[in-house]
A and B are shown apart, each in its own frame.
Chain A
Amino acid sequence: MVEEKFDAIVIGAGPSGLAAGYTMAKAGMNVIIFERGDYPGSKNVMGGVLYRDPTEELISGFWEEAPVERYIIQQDIWVLDDDSVITMGYQDNKFAKKPYNNFTVLRAKFDRWFAKKAEEAGALLITETVVEDLIYDDKRVVGVQTGRKDGEVKADVVILAEGVNSLIGEQAGLHPKIPPEHLAVAVKEVISLPRETIEARFNLNGDEGKTIELVGKATEGMMGTAFIYTNEKSLSVGVGALLSDMVDANMNPNDLLEELKSHPTVAKLLQGGETKEYLAHLIPEGGYHAIPELYRDGLMVVGDAAMLVNGYHREGSNLAMISGKLAGETAIEAKEAGDFSMDMLSSYKEKLDDSFIMKDMYKYKDASAFFATNPHFFEIYPKLANEALHELLVVDGKPKRQKQRKILEKVKDKRSYFGIAKDLFNAWRVMR
């Protein structure tokens, strides 16, 4: 389809692919970016929190012109039970001042903007085009096969940014088929509300925003979280849980979301809202041990396709963008050296190791496996905490010591003191 040979091909116009494409194009490289959707972002979903600092490593001051929804000044954690909720929140008014800390975004809008930046830097963006396979010369990746007629395109280096459903990565043997224990399935709705209503309901001024992460009943005790994020004139409301847990529980993701929306405390926040879109996506949760091969002769893997997600801090887009940037910088060095061998591209992995990305991935390397096999944290403890507070706060003539005893009995009923001590110690061990 395109006769000329490119310096670099990027597969996928999400945060990681666009970061790589933008970085390389800005340095004068001849870059082509393939996107299978109508436009960048049209197949992309996230909660959506976008972090300012890592995004500014690519485009300084981006938030002045990019389509961001609200800057976040308050982050809550809600521990949900059937009829109750324990709320914890942190509000920081420093986050209300420029340059802000993080933003809510909607991917279809933000990615489109980001892609435009890459195009302005000189990258060629080809949409509505599926990349079906890599092309090899012996063991070296030399291009891609697209779904178009005569769809071979050649380049010195290919950057694989195809996302979590990494069909090409699997086909190439970079990783085995991802097991359901290493994926979370998340669904969300974008629910429109007048901005004044959002501001009044969430105690916000102007463009200030708030995020709420919900655990416990929110996922019916499965490993995962739910979320409510404020956008400019809508809320992003969703829930995600480990796919293996969902399968075991015979749970439909949309049913789980409906359950969450009908919780009396949540329902009050959504009241009068009108759903505008229903979305679903997988999240790569395999962690450090599940990271695939990241480079080969003529190939680098970035973002979700590289399993680079830190679920414990709900970070993903920042790891995607920075991995894309580092791969882009490695490609620039490779072009200068005229060497796109595996040996040369191994410096991409070194850059990742030196950055927060691998340091954070390594820090939580055992956390996923631990929490997946210890459901108490998502099921028993949230419930016990709610029940304990209920007992403590109901004034019914019973003396407090009797109430305390009742609470402790309830706790002991569900989990031995030794079991709790063990859980806490182990949780500290995998999270420290």
Chain B
Amino acid sequence: MSEKMTLEDKLYLDRFKPDSESHLTVINRDFCVNECDEKPCTFICPARVYEWDEEEEIIKVAYEGCVECGTCRYGCPDNINWSNPRGGYGITYKFG
């Protein structure tokens, strides 16, 4: 490999068909602000879907780039509602 690829570069290679609504929702916004210091969703997600917005004090969820592994659901202290994207939407792996 010649030069380091960014995660964005890599995700660009994957095929996504994002639905109009998110299949990932943060259940309790206050919990993120007041009780969750580590915010594991912001680093544990392989596609870095979650980002902490310091100014707005809110977790931003870029569900369009979700690879549907489910890691956030189990890495977060029970504050993410995870459902499968509707049939036909989401990631489609070519190789697997």
Q: Give A contacts to B, CB under 8 Å.
A: 36-39, 41-46, 48, 106-111, 127-130, 146-148, 164-165, 167, 177-180, 183, 185, 187, 189-191, 234, 243, 246-247, 250-254, 258, 261-262, 267, 270-273, 275-282
Mask, B17-50, CB within 8 Å of A = 1, is 0000000000000000000001010011111100
* 14 sample A-B contacts, Cβ–Cβ < 8 Å, listed by A number: A38-B92, A39-B92, A42-B91, A43-B92, A48-B96, A107-B96, A110-B96, A130-B85, A148-B87, A167-B83, A251-B44, A273-B1, A276-B94, A280-B67
Q: CB < 8 Å: which of B10, B38, B92, B96 contacts A247?
A: B38
Selected from A44, A146, A191, the residue in CB contact (under 8 A) with B1 is A191
Interface pair B96/A45, CB less than 8 Å apart: yes
Partner of A278, one of B11, B82, B88: B11
Q: Are A281 and B94 in contact (CB under 8 A)?
A: no
> A243: which of B44, B88, B93 is its contact (CB, 8 Å)?
B44
Q: How large is the interface on B (under 10, 10 to 19, 20 to 34, 35 or more residues)?
A: 35 or more
Q: Which residues of B contact A (CB under 8 A)?
A: 1-2, 4-5, 7, 10-11, 13-14, 38, 40, 43-48, 67-71, 73-75, 78, 82-88, 90-96
Q: How many A-B residue pairs have CB under 8 A?
A: 150
Write out the residue numbers on chain A whose beta carbons fall within 8 Å of the beta carbon of B13.
275-278
Which residues of chain A have C-beta atoms less than 8 A from B2's C-beta?
A: 271-272
Contacts A165-B69, A183-B74 known; 15 new A-B pairs at CB < 8 A? A37-B92, A38-B88, A107-B95, A127-B88, A130-B85, A165-B73, A165-B82, A252-B43, A267-B1, A275-B5, A276-B13, A277-B94, A279-B14, A279-B67, A282-B69
Check A107/B71 contact, CB under 8 A, given A167-B82, A254-B46.
no
What is the chain A residue whose CB lies nearest that of B17?
A: A38
The interface residues of chain B, by DSSP majority, are classed as loop
**For the complex, what is the distance from the CA of A179 to the CA of B78, rounded to whole Å?**
10
Contact of A177 with B43 at beta-carbon distance under 8 Å, contacts A108-B94, A273-B1, A279-B96 already known: no
Q: Given the interface contacts A111-B96, A128-B88, does A254 sit within 8 Å of B69 by beta carbon?
A: no
Q: Is the CB of A270 within 8 A of B93?
A: no
Report A101 CB to chain B, min CB distance, Å: 22
Q: How far, in Å, is B8 (CB) from chain A's closest CB?
A: 10
Chain A's closest residue to B88 (CB) is A128
**Residue pair A130, B86 in contact (C-beta under 8 Å):** yes
Q: Considering the chains assembled together, what is the distance between the CA atoms of A252 and B41 in angstroms?
A: 10
A254 close to B10 (CB less than 8 A): yes
| Closest CB in chain A relative to B95 CB, distance in Å | 4
Inter-chain contact A279/B38, CB cutoff 8 Å: no
Give the Cβ gap from B84 to chain A, nearest Cβ, in Å.
Answer: 5
A280 touches B69 (CB 8 A): yes
In contact, A190 and B74 (Cβ under 8 angstroms): no
Query: How far is B78's CA from A246's CA once the two chains are assembled, in angstroms?
Result: 17
Give the complex CA separation of A48 and B82 in angstroms. Answer: 26
Whether B43 pairs with A251 at a CB distance below 8 angstroms is: yes
> Would you give the shortest CB distance from A10 to chain B, in whole angstroms?
15
Closest 4 CB pairs between A and B? A107-B96, A108-B96, A165-B70, A128-B88
Which B residues touch A185, using CB under 8 A?
44, 46, 69, 71, 75
